Amino acid sequence: MTLELALVLALLCAAVVMFAMNRPRMDAVAVIMMVALPFTGAITLQESLSGFADPNVILIGALFVIGEALVRTGVTKGLGDWVIARAAGSETRLIVFLMLSVAALSAIMSSTGVVAIFVPVVLRIARDSGIPVGRLMMPLSVSALTAGMTTLVATPPNLVLHGELVRSGHEGFSFFAFTPFGLPILLVAILWMLVARRFLGSADGAAPAERRHLGDWVSEYGLAGHEARLRLGPASLLAGRPVSDTGLLSSQGMTILAIERRGLFGAELVHPTASTRLRPGDILLLDAARSEVDLAALCSRWQLEKLPPTGDYFADRVSDIGMAEVMIPATSPLVGQSVVDLRFRSVHNLAVVALKHAAHPLTTPVADEKLRGGDTLLVVGPWRAIRRLSGRQREMILLDLPGEADDVAPERRRAPAALAVLALVVGLMISGLVSNVQAALVGCLLLGLFRCIDMRSALGSIRWDTLVLIVGMLPFSIALQRTGGVDLAAEALIGLLGDAGPRMILSALFCVTAVLGLFISNTATAVLMAPVAVALAERLDSSPQAFAMIVALGASAAFMTPVASPVNMLVVGPGNYRFVDFVKVGVPLTLFCLVVSVTLVPLILPL
């Protein structure tokens, strides 16, 4: 063993120890290794930084952006609603549809992101159905992890193994190369979770803490019966006039909350400004505090058609019309002014529909009421405008958001465009017309062009810790190959197994990968084991694709501990799990994955 190899192995051991202790953070450990490796003399500084130029790193970042666009356009929420509708109160059907839905989404976007999206969905399902939440959170994480075995882009370890094959001069994996292995494993995981759910969950953890909802505020502020919907007829005198000219409405105690207008993809909701011009066929969504007689007279005078209410203050438009409570501090410059004086709608794009002096809701229209310190306002308008209030603490304090805020998709009307772009990206990856990273970047640009995502959301969606971890650990692959460490590991495995058959060697490789994944992330495990797998295949004159596939499958089998994957860590708290819960569920499932993988890999990728 040379001095360079000894130094590289020492750094590797130090990294594994720090990963296991989770001190410092994993991405910080990766940066430390990236800085330290050139000092060993095994690689240069340029080689240590070469991970930043790796196409797979760019691809993973682009997939985070695509996933965020699916969230913002409501595609993921629609999938969650579909699960609830199909389950129809059956826990078995719920688990099956939940796992299939999560796996389908995780096959094309970050599994960590998918689980983060579905945690509030599962909490809502548990609350509404009375099923202990612990019985649903584990199937959520298991399906996301097994989905990593279904497509090339489903999880970073797959791309790491693909990149290692290409760098070694071998043919990489196609988009669906993992599918013949992932689908059977997913089926086994679903069947196992239907059995293992009996070990999980209890009545104690079934109901998460209750949050206030829009219906609570409608009742508390006495808004029931305030909803009005008026359609402009073809000859309406309001057609063609700006909203600022509809002062008669406000004089009747009415506030325009939004305008429902026919658009390219069906009905769209417009949040009007003073200059927004009304069109024939527009439906005015109004908060009406006055009597039915006044409303009837208004319709007759302006040739408007009164439409039936939904019965619960625009409950059908909750994705577009938000609600929040804000408090006026005693030191606020707004004290002593009225809502009209403040031009609240023009400045904040929100309507004030109710007001409390102390704990007493005002029963008269609020427009001209002078504000006092400690007053609570109920504001209605776009969710985006509501969230902007959090930056105006000097004037008003955003007290609370309803539970519905968790499920809001700010660009829901652009869902068809997002789905079309997603189909294009997947089609390009499957066809091979362009590289995977080019396909993903084209998708990101198109999603921005169609305004499915903005730059701030795109940058915020990228898991920079994951990218830094990959970039920082990739130089280990170069250093171990150059110093002979990879050959040493391959020879050690061959010497240990002796004349064992190929399936036994694949089993050992799977087990080593899975056990290493207990202590460090599956991405770091893939980076370390990828060159070993390729070198081992070359020594045995076997298919490098088969050995790389086994490592990829073993890296995704991170079921056995809560720290084996960020996916597991996301469900520990909501599911009220203990360490032993992952052991009871994860160890048998890992063994099932081992059997399926070692059986199928030699059949589909002949050795």
pLDDT for res 209? 44
Higher pLDDT, residue 100 or 26: 100
Mean pLDDT, residues 304-323 taken together? 82
- Determine the average pLDDT of the residues in 122-137: 81
What is the reported pLDDT for 393? 64
C-alpha distances (whole Å) from 6 to each of 3, 71, 465 are 5, 47, 28
CA distances from 62 to 55, 441, 483 (A): 11, 6, 33
pLDDT at 251: 63
Give the Å distances, CA to CA, from 446 to 349, 420, 422, 440.
29, 10, 10, 10
Instruction: Provide φ and ψ at 229, rounded to 5°.
Output: -130, 120
Q: Which of 38-52, 341-355, 587-601 has the highest mean pLDDT?
A: 587-601
Position 310 pLDDT exceeds 50: yes
pLDDT band at 15 (very low <50, low <70, confident <90, very high): confident
Average pLDDT over residues 213-238: 87
Top-confidence residue, 456 or 138: 138
Burial 561-571 (b: 16+ CB within 10 A, else e): bbbbbbbbebb
pLDDT in the model for residue 19 = 72
Question: H or E stretch including 307?
Answer: strand 304-307
- 325 forms bridges with which residues in the sheet? 378, 400
pLDDT of residue 99: 92
The predicted structure's pLDDT at residue 320: 79
User: For the residues 540-551, what does the mean pLDDT come to?
Assistant: 92
Q: Given the DSSP bridges, would you call strands 227-232 and 304-307 parallel, antiparallel or unpaired?
A: antiparallel
From 485, 500, 221, select the one nearest 352 (Cα to Cα).
221
User: Does residue 204 have a pLDDT over 50?
Assistant: no
In this predicted structure, what is the pLDDT of residue 120?
64
- In whole numbers, what is the pLDDT of the chain averaged over residues? 83
Tell me what pLDDT residue 339 has. 85
pTM: 0.63
Residue 265 has pLDDT above 70, yes or no: no
C-beta of residue 95 within 8 angstroms of C-beta of residue 139: yes
Mean pLDDT for the stretch of residues 457-472: 79
The residues, ordered by sequence, that sit 6+ positions from 188 with a Cβ below 8 Å of its Cβ are 589, 592, 593, 596
> Residue 242 carries which DSSP code?
B
Average pLDDT over residues 583-602: 93
| Number of other residues whose CB lies within 10 A of the CB of residue 305 | 12
With 80 as the cut, is the pLDDT of residue 137 above it? yes
| pLDDT of residue 2 exceeding 60 | yes
Model pLDDT, residue 203: 42
Find the range with the poorest average confidence among 456-460, 496-500, 573-577, 586-590: 496-500
pLDDT-based confidence at 391, cuts 50/70/90?
low
Q: Is the pLDDT of residue 552 over 90?
A: yes
Question: In the prediction, which pLDDT does 113 show?
Answer: 64
% of the chain exceeding 90 in pLDDT: 22
Residue 197 pLDDT = 87
Check: CB of residue 312 under 8 Å from CB of residue 318: no
**231 Cβ contact partners less than 8 Å away, ≥ 6 residues apart:** 281, 282, 283, 284, 304, 305, 307
Per-residue confidence (pLDDT) for residue 44, from 0 to 100: 92
CA angle 123–129–131, rounded 5-degree value: 70
pLDDT at 210: 57
Most confident of 75-84, 181-190, 318-327, 413-422: 181-190
Question: Cα(474)–Cα(203) distance, rounded to whole angstroms?
Answer: 46
Instruction: Select, from the ranges 154-163, 179-188, 305-314, 430-439, the one with the highest average predicted confidence (pLDDT).
Output: 179-188
- β partners of residue 397: 327
Please give the residue that has the higher pLDDT: either 298 or 563. 298
Residue 488 scores a pLDDT above 90? no
Handedness of CA 118, 120, 123, 124 (dihedral sign): negative
Output 549 or 67, whichever has higher pLDDT: 549
The span from the CA of 447 to the CA of 65, in Å, is 9
Tell me which of 37-46, 252-261, 302-311, 494-503 is least confident. Answer: 494-503
Q: For Cα atoms 570, 576, 579, give the angle at the middle one, nearest 5 degrees.
A: 80
Query: What's the whole-number mean pLDDT along residues 239-254?
Result: 73
State what percent of residues in the chain have pLDDT above 70: 89
Range name among 133-142, 229-238, 325-334 with the lowest pLDDT average: 325-334
Q: What Rg, from alpha-carbon coordinates, does the chain have? A: 29
Answer whether the bond into residue 24 is a cis peptide, omega within 30°. yes
* Strands, E assignment, 221-279: 227-232, 254-263, 266-270
**pLDDT score, position 206:** 42
In the structure, what pLDDT confidence band is assigned to residue 7 with cuts at 50, 70 and 90?
A: very high
What is the predicted pLDDT for the residue at 498?
63
Say if residue 291's pLDDT is above 70: no
Q: Residue 294's pLDDT is what? A: 66
In angstroms, rounded to a whole number, what is the distance separating the alpha carbons of residues 567 and 562?
8
